[in-house]
Amino acid sequence: MAILCFVDRFLTRCICSDVRKIKPLLDHLEALQKITNYFALDLSHETLIEAMARLGPNYKYVRCYGLWGTFDDGLKWAEMIPGPRFFFSLGSIFGNDFFESAVERLRPWAEAMRPDDRMLLGMDATKNVDEIWDSYHDKDGLFEKFMRNGLVHSNRVLGECWYKAEDWDVLGILETNPVMHRFVFRALREVVYRPLGLEFAAGDEIDCYEAFKYGPETMRKQYDRTGLKEIATWKAPSGRICKSALMLVPENESPNQLSLTDMLSVSSRPVPTPYEHERGGRCEQFLRIVSRRAPSAATGTD
């Protein structure tokens, strides 16, 4: 998730591993010479360092920061920002679960939204089962390597070698109600590792990496359940990815279709700069800012 903020508006993005998704917007804001604070939230310290190193040198008016923490940390930190905020989740993070669970995941962020806030959510909305299958089962087996590497890493984290590749098969499963793809690890034989209290019979499965494919209609139902209103929707040229702009509006009002420039131009009020937040010691208790510009480079006027 990311928070994008102008000097008087914050933009936040959760999970910053792929900065290509947010870069066109940052480039546009830079071209407008709009002083903007961009906060990228991620659990990976290394990913943040790399992302900030790639983005920071490219901008004069856009200030890039890495926030190292969880979604809960990011939500707590964002509460301290008194002015309007933009929240970005561009990679199917919200909505990617069984319907009720997805609603509950989005609800805390919806409850934190203020009337002047905006949120932009991305969702893979394809229903083409052939496209879905091919996207997760490439000829080089990259997703299977990714899955297996996760369990290899669990051995390092736990300090115990419970996972052995020869004990497990990796299978893809495609379901249609709702449309979703998931991977499972299936035990090829009995797997017992008593130091961790693990015991699997042959055929037991471990679910992982579920990817739901909800269309705009289903996502609108999620928004309605959390008190959010869709004010605009954009589709990628392929028609596969949908981006929804969200805001809080009174129930008796009908949201108007807005351009992204309109969204970024709503009235706002000044907020302290990120340096004032950090100097005040209010962010360290939740998140660690791992990369930033020197204060002199980040100071500017409209």
Least confident of 105-119, 172-186, 268-282: 268-282
- Dihedral through CA 175, CA 177, CA 180, CA 184, nearest 10? -40
Q: pLDDT band at 1, cuts 50/70/90?
A: low
pTM for the complete prediction? 0.72
The pLDDT, as a whole number, for residue 9 is 44
204, 220: one domain: no
231, 120: one domain: yes
58, 16: one domain: yes
Domain region containing 286: 2-126+214-298
The pLDDT, as a whole number, for residue 265 is 42
219, 77: one domain: yes
Mean pLDDT value of segment 89-104: 88
41, 113: one domain: yes
111, 66: one domain: yes
The pLDDT, as a whole number, for residue 4 is 60
The pLDDT, as a whole number, for residue 11 is 56
- Where is pLDDT greater, at 33 or 11? 33
The pLDDT, as a whole number, for residue 89 is 86
d(CA 72, CA 89): 14
60, 203: one domain: no
Write down which residue in 212, 246, 270 finishes a domain: 212
Q: pLDDT band at 246, cuts 50/70/90?
A: confident
101, 237: one domain: yes
137, 269: one domain: no
153, 245: one domain: no
114, 26: one domain: yes
Write down which residue in 197, 212, 227 finishes a domain: 212
Residue 190 neighbours by CB distance under 10 Å: 12
% the chain with pLDDT above 70: 75
12 by Cβ neighbours in 10 Å (0-12 / 13-18 / 19+) ranks as buried
